[in-house]
A and B are shown apart, each in its own frame.
Chain A
């Protein structure tokens, strides 16, 4: 409920919570939120309100980057700590925990991906744990971190990186890049193109095949990104809506939703991981 002007309307509260802390260059001539006009050469600043749209592509969501990298470092730190003191004897608590995750990932990778590639398992591990941690930020009550941030003078703070489509799309495009890379590496450029154009209907229907396969190909990263983004965004939205209710009824709604969300965040991380493994396996398979 932090705001600069004291009280907020519901829609202002919601849109405030769904706005990223964006840093970028406002072009010259833009009218700012306080009515001033940006002078010649533009200005580098944090966006207020709708200004992020004016900044175009060359702007960065600082909160998304901060939280995702912080959570990623947390993941790497924990796993590296265990990896350094790993013992094949009796494992400690941390090692037990890490091992159970790694075995879970390894099992999934082995059951889906039958080629030799040392990247796939660590890739899946990173995807699963990192996305899980980013999603888990959803369970932090929606006002806590934004409130602390606003006390520190930061007016926008979206703490769940996966509710930013840039984050999910960034990962999905990375996976897409790997799909293309391994398809070409395993089958050659010709083999990959043949796979795109000569099936399912044979060479006489080449344009139709190509259209079909390209749609399928590009649907992969888009569906990956939007599935995760959509689920997390909707979940976050519900939390925000619950936070708008009278305080005495909030827990009745937010507790069940949070408990349900434990399932959702795990499931979404798992789906992203499994689909990545499946796409990687498809990229390696020869038809």
Chain B
């Protein structure tokens, strides 16, 4: 157990290692650690932000969806209304058309009936005269009697 020069040798070695460590070892490693710390903090921050953004986007998507649904419902309702309207209009038109056709038919029928009456009337005069001729078996002045028969026919 002799105290000797080793004390000083050890102290010098110690000092050299400490200074070396202080100059070349400690600063770069702690700088890298600090840098990584910062990066991790930034990463976590970014993750938080992204999560918030996602939340917002989800909310926005839900709102959009709701609005689209409402719009679609409105459009469908409108379309239904319009369809009803078209049906009503068509019904109205059909009714009017039917009315018109009916009126035309009635007019035609009336006309036809009148024509038949007229024809009948003409025929009746002849028939009546012929009938009378037969009944009388005499020669009757056709001229004289025609007026009479026509009067009769007009009363028909």
B2-A68 in contact (CB<8A): no
In whole Å, how far is B144's beta carbon from the nearest beta carbon of chain A? 142
* Also in contact, A22 and B13, with CB within 8 A (given A88-B32, A122-B25, A123-B18): no
Asked if B136 lies at the interface with its beta carbon under 8 angstroms from chain A, I say no
Specify which of B2, B29, B39 is in contact with A98 (CB 8 Å cutoff). B29
* Given A69-B13, A174-B11, A83 and B25 contact (CB-CB distance below 8 Å): yes
The interface bits of chain B over 15-38 (1 if a CB of A lies within 8 angstroms of the residue's CB, else 0) are 101101110111011111101100
Supposing A76-B17, A170-B10 touch, asked if A106 and B2 sit within 8 A by C-beta, the answer is no
| A65 touching B29 in the complex, CB below 8 Å, given contacts A79-B21, A88-B36, A165-B1 | no
Known contacts A55-B4, A65-B6, A166-B4; is-contact A83 B14 (Cβ 8 Å): no
A166 touches B3 (CB 8 A): yes
Within 8 A of B (CB), among A78-110: 79-80, 82-84, 86-89, 98-99, 102-103, 106
Given A57-B3, A76-B20, the answer on whether A83 and B8 have CB atoms closer than 8 Å is no
Of the candidates B5, B11, B25, B29, the one whose C-beta lies within 8 Å of that of A171 is B11
Across the interface, do A121 and B4 meet the contact criterion of CB distance under 8 Å? no
Whether B3 contacts A125 by the Cβ 8 Å rule is: no
Q: Are A61 and B6 in contact (CB under 8 A)?
A: yes
Q: In the bound complex, do residue B22 and residue A122 qualify as a contact, i.e. CB atoms below 8 Å apart?
A: yes
Alpha-carbon separation in the docked complex, A75 to B7 (Å): 20
Asked if B28 contacts A125 (CB within 8 A), the reply is: no
Number of A-B contacts (CB under 8 A): 127
| A165 nearest CB neighbor, chain B only | B1
Chain B residues near A171: list those with CB within 8 A.
10-11, 14
Interface size on A, residues (CB 8 A): 51
From residue 149 to 205 of chain A, which have CB atoms closer than 8 A to chain B? Answer: 161, 164-167, 169-171, 173-174
**B17-A59 in contact (CB<8A):** no
Does A59 lie within 8 Å of B5, measured CB to CB? yes
CB distance from A243 to the nearest CB of B (A): 21
Task: Evaluate contact between A170 and B7: CB separation under 8 angstroms.
Answer: yes
Q: How far is the CA of A55 from the CA of B30 in the complex (A)?
A: 46
Chain A residues closer than 8 Å to B1, beta-carbon distance: 165
The distance from the CB of B151 to the nearest CB of chain A, in whole angstroms, is 132
Instruction: Say whether A83 contacts B24, CB under 8 Å.
Output: yes
A4 within 8 A of B: no
Residues A88 and B39 in contact in the complex (CB < 8 Å), given A80-B25, A125-B26: yes
Among all A-B residue pairs, the 3 with the closest Cβ atoms: A170-B10, A166-B6, A88-B35
9 interchain pairs, CB-CB under 8 A: A55-B4, A65-B9, A72-B13, A83-B24, A103-B33, A165-B1, A166-B4, A169-B10, A171-B14
Q: A61-B4, A86-B32 are in contact. List 13 more A-B contacts (CB 8 A).
A: A55-B2, A56-B4, A57-B5, A58-B5, A59-B4, A72-B13, A80-B25, A103-B33, A126-B17, A166-B2, A166-B4, A166-B7, A174-B11
